[in-house]
């Protein structure tokens, strides 16, 4: 297995790039780049196992790198359960792993996973006698759970700011930014809440292509248009936490870097995107198996390659573009598992002779502490006929739209097998809640193009809801045609 | 090993889902309560979709998963200090002017 390495970064890369700093990992000094996510610095430093899972003590490692899973939890400066993919590296940080005995690296409790190879049914575990059950409970309490109580002093209380604004947009991704541009152009004040430190959502992905341009170029252009609009206030690092939609006034609660916001908008556009679920195959949680967008961010964005060659699996255009982006960077591919026909692949993949595996699916991942190979079987079969050695895997899984915040507000959420649970909207983005609109991947958009269009429509419809104007009406009608 | 993990936070496997279904837990809310799926740190961001597709496939239709379990604030773990501060009625530029 190749060691982790850092790649050269191109000048148009939107991810910040700081100077080298030293921090402490499990009592040892380690180097990373200031401002990059702690998880990225650790992966670059060769760390493979970040922690242990709650029940079977299986190794855990970052999976999503977008703050949605639980693969990257660490104890940082005395605080347990810190998401290291959402924590910027600072000099002198004290970082520890938090679960396992004697430690997370080598964990004796891991044997549980092997003893209960099928499954451990905790509903019937040692319940035959009361005494036994109590002893078992005590033991389980010791070995399970997430970390230990904090030793760090609690942070200073954040001041809470209550603001009435005409419009709030949640999510500064493709749909959210386009909605904000429309609102700003129509002359409305709008606060855009973005959980990450970097605006752009999918536009930050090297695999994103929008109307022929790269996502990175489209992002620059969009952000410069946005900053020229005086009414638009973009708040980064400010996750929306809740929406209260059943009160007299609509309320959005968000936690900023140094203040908590209680926003009272007349109209709300939810553009929260979608999450990456685990792809479904045996040992899908093995470290080194990532979601495609996580791999994109880690390798193309931060320029950190923890293992090689890379296996890519999926049929989405973005997944193919990710494979192409890796080839462009001179990274070896173990294979591309896709059912898309050869002529539909990006040109780089056809010329570089990337082994393409069609009609197969991943059956299981193999490796002890990090993925080492993947077994594949023909569709409908349960025995593998192909084994590919690899040091990193990105596998697509069916979408999981981020419907929660709209659901808080009481918006109707529907389920479609192909798309997941999504916020139900009409063609203009109106949800079942009169003041709430939704756009982009949380409302079922499947591509970047579609997310952009939905964002524009919802932005216009939102502006019209605030103030009727024939010009906007015409523009919206044109976008719907 | 040899487990297919559905919910990474609570170590719920595909086998757990199948067993729960067999025992009669055949809607999302009951599956969640019985298996512990979607009750961990991420609160179902990655696993509810899997469970919904599992139900839809076995019960033959999207209606089987129509209602996601109730989602409650907060969306992500948040330090209590975020809510411990005094309230300021804002005079920030984006605040009062927009309201008529
Ligand atoms: S939450 Fe950090 S890797 Fe998923």
Distance between CA atoms of B52 and B68, rounded to whole angstroms?
8
Report the nearest atom of ligand 1 relative to the CA of A294: 3
ipTM above 0.85, yes or no: yes
Report whether pLDDT(A453) > 90: yes
> Does residue B32 sit in helix, strand or coil?
helix
- Of residues B66 and B73, more confidently modeled: B73
State mean pLDDT over A190-201: 97
* Binding-face residues of B in 29-88 toward A, CB within 8 A: 34, 40-42, 45-50, 52-53, 56-57, 62, 65-68, 70-88
* A149-A145-A276-A8 Cα dihedral, nearest 10 degrees: 60
Average pLDDT over residues B20-45: 94
C-alpha span between A104 and A75 (Å, rounded) = 12
pLDDT of residue B97: 40
- What are the contacts of A58-61 at 24+ separation with CB within 8 A? A58/A110, A58/A113, A58/A285, A58/B1, A58/B3, A58/B5, A58/B11, A59/A286, A59/A287, A59/A369, A60/A285, A60/A287, A60/B8, A61/A287, A61/A288, A61/A370
Domain tally for chain B? 1
pLDDT at residue B100 tops 50: no
**Ligand 1 atom nearest to CA at A64:** 4
10 Å Cβ neighbour count for A48? 20
Best mutation target, A70, A107, A242, A243, to test chain B (most B CBs within 10 A): A70
The SS3 call for residue B12 is strand
Nearest residue to A266 (alpha-carbon basis) of A409, A406, A435, A439 = A435
Say yes or no: CB of residue A64 within 6 Å of ligand 1: yes
Mean of pLDDT values over A48-67: 94
Q: Give the pLDDT score at B94.
A: 45
Per residue in A242-271, pLDDT tens? 999 988 899 999 999 999 999 999 999 999
In a domain, B100, yes or no: no
Give A-chain residues touching B49 at CB under 8 angstroms.
275, 277, 398-400, 420-421
The residue to which tokens 């991942």 are assigned: A365
Position B96 in a domain: no
Q: What is the CATH number of the domain that holds B24?
A: 1.10.10.1100
pLDDT in tens, A11-43: 999 998 899 999 999 999 999 999 999 999 999
The whole-angstrom separation of Cα A281 and Cα A374 is 10
> What is the distance in angstroms between the Cα of B48 and the nearest Cα belonging to chain A?
8
- Please give the pLDDT value at position A287: 97
Both tokens assigned to A154: 């609690």
Q: Is the pLDDT of residue B99 over 50?
A: no
At residue A21, the pLDDT reads 98
User: Under an 8 A CB cutoff, do B72 and A408 touch?
Assistant: yes
Task: From A49, A76, A83, give the residue whose CB has the most ligand 1 atoms within 8 Å, as the site to mutate.
Answer: A83
B72 exposed, middle or buried (CB, 10 Å; 0-12, 13-18, 19+)?
Answer: exposed
Whether the predicted pLDDT of A435 surpasses 70: yes
Q: What are φ and ψ of residue A394, in 5° steps?
A: -125, 115
Q: At what angle do helices B48-59 and B14-22 cross, to 10 degrees?
A: 50
In this structure, what token pair is assigned to residue A436? 């709430």
Please check whether residue B97 lies inside any domain of the structure.
no
Q: How far, in Å, CA of A210 to CA of A215, rounded?
A: 6
| Assigned domain for B35 exists | yes
Residue B91 lies in a domain: no
**B13 inside domain:** yes
CB nearest B41 (choices: A70, A240, A413)? A70
pLDDT for the residue B66:
84
Q: Is the pLDDT of residue A165 over 90?
A: yes
Q: In terms of Cα–Cα distance, which of A304, A352, A301, A380 is closest to A44?
A: A304
Tell me the pLDDT tens digit for each residue of A97-151.
988 878 888 888 888 888 888 888 878 777 788 888 888 888 777 776 678 889 9
> What whole-number distance in Å separates Cα of residue A174 and Cα of residue A211?
13
A463, two tokens: 């502006």
Residue of A113, A257, A286, A417 to mutate, testing the B interface (most B Cβ within 10 Å of its Cβ): A417
In this prediction, residue A104 carries a pLDDT of 84
User: pLDDT band for position A352 (50/70/90)?
Assistant: low
For A270-283, what is each residue's pLDDT tens digit? 999 999 999 999 99
Nearest CA in chain A to B10: A54
Check residue A315 and give its pLDDT: 96
When mean pLDDT is compared across A48-52, A63-67, B1-5, the lowest value belongs to B1-5
Distance A39 CA to ligand 1 centre (A): 8
- Listed range (A209-218, B5-14, B28-37, B63-72) with the worst mean pLDDT: B63-72
Give CA torsion, residues A339, A213, A443, A302, to 10 deg.
80
Which residue is closest to A276 within chain B, CA to CA?
B46
Q: What tokens does A205 get?
A: 């992905």
pLDDT at A424: 97
- The pLDDT of residue A228: 97
Residue-level pLDDT at A124? 77
The pTM (predicted TM-score) of the whole model is 0.95
A353-398 per-position pLDDT tens digit? 789 999 999 999 999 899 999 999 999 999 999 999 999 999 999 9
- Spatial distance between the Cα atoms of A440 and A238, rounded to a whole number of angstroms: 19
Give pLDDT, residue B90.
59
- Residue A213 backbone zone (phi > 0: left; psi -120 to 50: alpha; other: beta): beta
- In the predicted model, what is the mean pLDDT of chain A? 94
Q: Is the pLDDT of residue B95 over 50?
A: no
Residue B42 domain boundaries = 5-70
Q: Is A68 in the pocket of ligand 1 (CB under 6 A)?
A: yes
CB atoms within 10 A of CB A108: 12
- Residues of B within 8 A of A399 (CB-CB) are 49
Does some domain include residue B84?
no
CB contact under 8 A, B68 and A413: yes
Reported as a pLDDT band with limits 50, 70 and 90, residue B1 is: low
Q: What is the pLDDT of residue B7?
A: 95
- Average pLDDT on A211-234 reads 95
Q: What is the 3-state secondary structure (H, E, C) of chain A?
A: CCCCEECCCCCCCCCCCCCEEEEEECCEEEEEECCCEHHHHHHHCCCCCCEECCCCCCEECCCCCCCCCCCCEEEECCEEEEEHHHCECCCCCEEECCCCCECCCCEHHHHHHHHCCCCCCCCCCCCCCHHHHHHHHHHHHHHCCCCCCCCCCCCCCCCEEEEEEEEEEECCCHHHHHHHHHHHHCCCCEEEECCCCCCCHHHHCCCCEECCEEHHHHHHHHHHHHHCCCCEEEECCCCEEEEECCCCCCEEEEECCCCEEEEEEEEEEECCCEECCCCCCECCCCCCEECHHHHHHHHHHCCEECCCCEEEECCCHHHHHHHHHHHHCCCCEEEEECCCCHHHCCHHHHHCCCCEECCEEEEEEECCCCCCEEEEEECCCCCCCEEEECCEEEECCCCEECCHHHHHHCCCEEEECCCEEEECCCCCCECCCCCEEECHHHHCCCCHHHHHHHHHHHHHHHHHHHCCCHHHHHHHHHHHC
pLDDT in tens, A390-434: 999 999 999 899 999 999 999 999 999 999 999 999 999 999 999
Match 């780049």 to its residue by tokens.
Answer: A33
Quote the ligand 1 centre to A344 CA distance (angstroms): 32
The values of phi and psi at residue A362, to 5°, are -75, 130
> Percent of chain A scored above 70 by pLDDT?
99
Q: Is residue B86 part of a domain?
A: no
- Using only C-alpha atoms, chain B has a radius of gyration, in whole angstroms, of 20
């Amino acid at each position: 297995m190749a060691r982790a390495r850092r790649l050269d970064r191109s000048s148009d890369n939107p991810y910040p790039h700081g100077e080298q700093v030293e921090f402490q990992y499990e009592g040892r000094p380690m180097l990373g780049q200031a401002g990059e996510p702690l998880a990225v610095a650790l992966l670059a430093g060769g760390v493979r196992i970040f922690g242990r899972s709650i029940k079977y003590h299986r190794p855990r490692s970052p999976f999503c790198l977008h703050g949605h899973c639980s693969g990257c939890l660490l104890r940082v400066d005395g605080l347990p359960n810190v998401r290291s993919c959402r924590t910027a590296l600072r000099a002198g940080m004290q970082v520890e792993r938090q679960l396992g005995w004697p430690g997370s690296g080598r964990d004796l409790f891991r044997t549980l996973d092997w003893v209960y190879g099928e499954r451990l049914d905790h509903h019937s575990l040692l319940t035959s006698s009361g005494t036994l059950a109590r002893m078992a409970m005590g033991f389980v309490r010791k070995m399970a759970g997430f970390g230990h109580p904090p030793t760090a002093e609690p942070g200073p209380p954040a001041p809470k700011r209550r603001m009435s604004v005409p419009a709030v947009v949640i999510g500064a991704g493709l749909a959210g930014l386009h909605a904000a541009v429309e609102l700003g152009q129509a002359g409305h004040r709008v606060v855009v809440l973005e959980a990450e430190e970097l605006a752009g959502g999918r536009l930050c992905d090297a695999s994103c292509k929008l109307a022929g341009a790269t996502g990175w170029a489209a992002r620059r252009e969009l952000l410069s248009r946005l900053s020229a609009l005086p009414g638009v206030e973009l708040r980064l690092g400010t996750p929306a936490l809740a929406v209260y939609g059943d009160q007299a006034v609509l309320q959005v609660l968000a936690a900023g870097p140094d203040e908590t916001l209680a926003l009272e908008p007349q109209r709300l556009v939810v553009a929260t995107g979608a999450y990456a679920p685990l792809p479904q195959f045996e040992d899908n949680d093995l470290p080194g198996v990532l979601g495609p967008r996580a791999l994109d961010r880690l390798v193309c964005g931060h320029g950190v390659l923890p293992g090689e060659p890379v296996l890519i699996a999926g049929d989405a255009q973005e997944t193919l573009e990710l494979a192409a982006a890796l080839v462009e960077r001179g990274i070896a591919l173990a294979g591309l598992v896709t059912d898309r026909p050869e002529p539909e692949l990006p040109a780089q993949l056809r010329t570089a002779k990337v082994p393409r595996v069609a009609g197969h699916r991943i059956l299981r991942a193999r490796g002890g502490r990090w993925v080492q190979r993947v077994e594949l079987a023909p569709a409908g079969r349960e025995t593998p006929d192909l084994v590919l050695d690899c040091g990193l895997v990105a596998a697509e899984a069916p979408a999981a739209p981020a419907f929660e915040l709209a659901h808080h507000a009481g918006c109707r959420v529907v389920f479609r097998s192909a798309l997941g649970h999504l916020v139900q909207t009409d063609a203009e983005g109106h949800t079942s809640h009169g003041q709430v609109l939704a756009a982009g991947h949380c409302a079922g958009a499947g591509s970047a193009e579609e997310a952009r269009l939905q964002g524009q429509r919802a932005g216009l419809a939102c502006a019209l809801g605030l103030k009727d104007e024939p010009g906007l009406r015409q523009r919206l009608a044109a976008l719907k045609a | 090993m040899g487990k297919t993990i559905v919910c990474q936070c609570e170590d719920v496997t595909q086998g757990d889902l199948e067993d729960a279904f067999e025992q009669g837990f055949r809607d999302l809310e009951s599956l969640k309560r019985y298996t512990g799926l979607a009750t961990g740190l991420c609160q179902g961001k990655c696993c509810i979709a899997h469970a919904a597709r599992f139900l839809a496939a076995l019960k033959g239709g999207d209606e089987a998963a129509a209602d996601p379990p109730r989602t409650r604030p907060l969306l992500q773990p948040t330090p209590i200090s975020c809510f411990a501060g005094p309230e300021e009625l804002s005079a920030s530029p984006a605040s009062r002017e927009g309201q008529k």
